[in-house]
Chains A and B, each alone.
Chain A
Amino acid sequence: MIPASLLLSLAFLLLSWLLPGALSAFVGFAALAFTAFARLPQGLRGLNLVLLTLGFTLGLKLSGNTLGLIGLVGILVALTTLRLPLGLRLLLGAAILLLSVPLAGFANTFVFELGIQIGIYAAMALGLNVVVGMAGLLDLGYAAFFAVGAYTWAIFGSEQARNFLKGSFPLPGEYMYLFMGIAIVTTAITGLVIGLPALRLRGDYLAIVTLGLGEVVRILANNLDHPINLTNGPQGITPVQRPPIDWFRHLMAALGVRLDQTTDYQLFFYLLVLLMIGLVILVNVNLANSRFGRAWVAIREDEIAAQSMGIPLLPTKLLAFMTGAAFSGVMGVIFAAQRTFVSPESFTLLASINILAMVILGGMGSIPGAILGAAALSILNLDILKTFSEFVRTSLPQIPNQVDPAKYERLVLGIILVLMMIYRPEGLIPEKRHRAEMEEA
């Protein structure tokens, strides 16, 4: 007798082969929910997840319907939260990130676009996680650092620098790697400049001041086109150089992967972002288990007790602030190069709030939580709401333009956050500390 969950997974696999698309994806979600929430033996659960991965990958490859990507994210979450053998977790996780997503990307390049966006925001959410989750410093101007990082490369990686410097600009694309390092320095300095006055304040006051200073950075970017044209103002800077990737094309060709003009850079940036996330996670974990991470948590819990242990408040908070800023800065450089276009519009208050919402949605202080939060909100904003409004527009053309669902992005986000605060205030994947507290209670 075949267990019901296995039957469901097999049915889904068959369905995504014969009838790939939205319908089969929903069957997949049901099978995934069944696998994750029903009481199943470990082996069966693992087998189910493998089948589901195959199913979603097949569906994505054949139909290019991005709902399958949500399924893959769901499987990744299951891998991080469910009790499964470590080998299976690593293997399946790597297969999804390195095989399923690229395969889907070749069928529908929008999958790459989504993957890169998720990755950039996930890395930033992890950076903000240091500031908000560990050190408890509510920063509402985090996008400012993203802006500084992006402009650091955009100015020198385009003809923009000619306006105020002699020399041959744009710098060649290889310099992007160097500028990822330089952006760490420029954003850390920005963090110092913003943090030095702001971090003397606490709680709500800190939030308001960071919000204001974050806006100052955006407004500077908007207005520094005169007297010297540094940022090219609201028009933004374009084209920004990308690194040459001939070596990458050769490498992929050697591996038997045929790339065309659009997918080569997409795949390259996707893998680069994955690599950066790996690095950021590593650094995050290392810091959390060091004297610095403990000092941050101590300050969050009780400033006076922390100080009485010899932890200096302002320098320790500044360090958290600068660390978070640096993460954001590096991703800014990649963002600028991947888009080849930078303008102040990408760094509004809403961008800051979006990143903060990712951290809160995922669970403050939690690393898988921050990544899931980034994935969930990016997919919601870039994919689900857009697809839904497309659907409304085509199938119900008499509905006025004003009720276009894509225009209610923030409303939907707000509703989700309110529901979260009511039903799961500790976040989707709470930090171990918080989870332990919940279990005790």
Chain B
Amino acid sequence: MKALEVQNATKRFGGLVAVNNVSLEVNQGEIFSVIGPNGAGKTTFFNLLTGIYTPDEGRILLFGKDVTGFSPDRVAKEGVGRTFQNIRLFGAMTVLENLLVGMHIHIHVPYFHALFRTSLAQRAEKRAKEEAERLLFYVGLLHRKDELARNLPYGEQRKLEIARALALRPRLLLLDEPAAGMNPRETEDLQAFIQRLREELGITVILIEHDMRLVMRISDRIAVLEYGAKIAEGPPEEVRRNPRVIEAYLGKGAAGGAA
């Protein structure tokens, strides 16, 4: 069973075809990257996967289950966690509360128990807090747990967003430009961190990234989008040498010049 199968997905906005007949498969336990020039439709593609947009054509299967047309919350319940290109934390909530929101679907407290804070509710809250703290320790943010998310420095906000996605206990993690704005040192840490996620938690990771060094080092396979269409797919070495990819990034004639 594949972690993700996309079959001929197309998304149009009026006359613009943002995602054009894209098909791809991601294996379980893989680290898979989606790259492409600005405006190639990468984030739209992510939004199709997570249900923020519904594809006009095509199907999306998660772990063998057809989730085409699912709302974002139902996709999340299928075990898909994600981060956003422009960080979308709950800024006025504390670090710990952000994680507790991430654990929303795993805290099983019926409404009337929450209303009167019964012992069942208290126990569930306590368990959730402990798990959230463990997770914060795992990503190295435990010392920040009572701070407001918006007061964290940029790099820690990125980390917290990943931690919040992990709180969902995802099987598939979608990271939208996780290394944006990071210096080379931080990017290396991020690489080690993503690899740890796969090895220790067995999570499949799909990332959109512009930092080519990171992409080439970390990815098992890469898909390249240009003008919404997939123009190449394969292991890093293969993609790096693909003339269409070089052309997309550097312009016509560059492929010939490089050869």
Residues of B100-139 whose CB lies within 8 A of A:
100-102, 104-105, 107, 109, 111, 114-117, 121, 125, 128
Q: Are B104 and A287 in contact (CB under 8 A)?
A: no
Q: Are B88 and A304 in contact (CB under 8 A)?
A: yes
Q: In the assembled complex, which residues on chain A have CB atoms less than 8 Å from the CB atom of B151?
A: 440
CA distance A288 to B150 in the complex (A): 20
Q: How far is the CB of A190 from the nearest CB of chain B, in Å?
A: 18
B148: interface (CB < 8 Å): yes
Given contacts A305-B84, A309-B164, A313-B73, contact A291 B107 (CB under 8 A): yes
Closest to B92 in A: A433
The answer, among A291, A292, A297, A319, for a CB contact under 8 Å with B93, is A297
A30: interface (CB < 8 Å): no
Q: Are A434 and B92 in contact (CB under 8 A)?
A: yes
Q: Are A291 and B117 in contact (CB under 8 A)?
A: no
Q: In the assembled complex, which residues on chain A have CB atoms less than 8 Å from the CB atom of B74?
A: 312
Given contacts A287-B115, A298-B90, contact A310 B71 (CB under 8 A): no
CA distance A301 to B148 in the complex (A): 13
Given contacts A308-B72, A309-B164, A437-B148, contact A294 B114 (CB under 8 A): no
Q: How far is the CB of A187 from the nearest CB of chain B, in Å?
A: 16
The answer, among A290, A306, A311, A434, for a CB contact under 8 Å with B114, is A290
Interface size on B, residues (CB 8 A): 39
A286: interface (CB < 8 Å): yes
B241: interface (CB < 8 Å): no
Given contacts A297-B93, A312-B71, contact A306 B101 (CB under 8 A): yes
The answer, among A294, A310, A434, for a CB contact under 8 Å with B76, is A310
Q: Are A301 and B114 in contact (CB under 8 A)?
A: no
Q: In the assembled complex, which residues on chain B have CB atoms less than 8 Å from the CB atom of A246?
A: none
Number of A-B pairs, beta carbon distance below 8 Å: 101
Given contacts A302-B90, A304-B72, contact A309 B114 (CB under 8 A): no
Residues of A292-324 whose CB lies within 8 A of B:
292, 294-295, 297-298, 301-302, 304-313, 319
Q: In the assembled complex, which residues on chain A have CB atoms less than 8 Å from the CB atom of B115?
A: 283, 286-287
Q: Are A304 and B111 in contact (CB under 8 A)?
A: no
A398: interface (CB < 8 Å): no
Q: In the assembled complex, which residues on chain A have CB atoms less than 8 Å from the CB atom of B37?
A: none
A257: interface (CB < 8 Å): no
Q: Are A301 and B93 in contact (CB under 8 A)?
A: yes
B141: interface (CB < 8 Å): no
CA distance A15 to B76 in the complex (A): 67
A401: interface (CB < 8 Å): no
CA distance A288 to B72 in the complex (A): 24
Q: In the assembled complex, which residues on chain A have CB atoms less than 8 Å from the CB atom of B77?
A: 310
Given contacts A294-B93, A301-B91, A309-B73, 12 further A-B contacts (CB under 8 A): A291-B109, A294-B101, A297-B92, A298-B104, A301-B92, A302-B90, A307-B73, A309-B101, A309-B164, A311-B73, A319-B111, A437-B150
Residue positions of A touching B, CB distance < 8 A: 283, 286-287, 289-292, 294-295, 297-298, 301-302, 304-313, 319, 433-434, 436-437, 440
Query: Which 6 pairs across A and B sit closest by C-beta, in order of nearness?
Result: A290-B114, A310-B76, A307-B72, A310-B105, A305-B88, A286-B117
**23 A-B residue pairings within 8 Å (CB atoms):** A286-B116, A286-B121, A290-B114, A290-B117, A291-B109, A291-B128, A292-B114, A297-B92, A297-B93, A298-B93, A298-B101, A301-B93, A305-B84, A305-B89, A308-B50, A308-B52, A308-B82, A309-B102, A309-B105, A310-B73, A311-B73, A313-B73, A434-B92
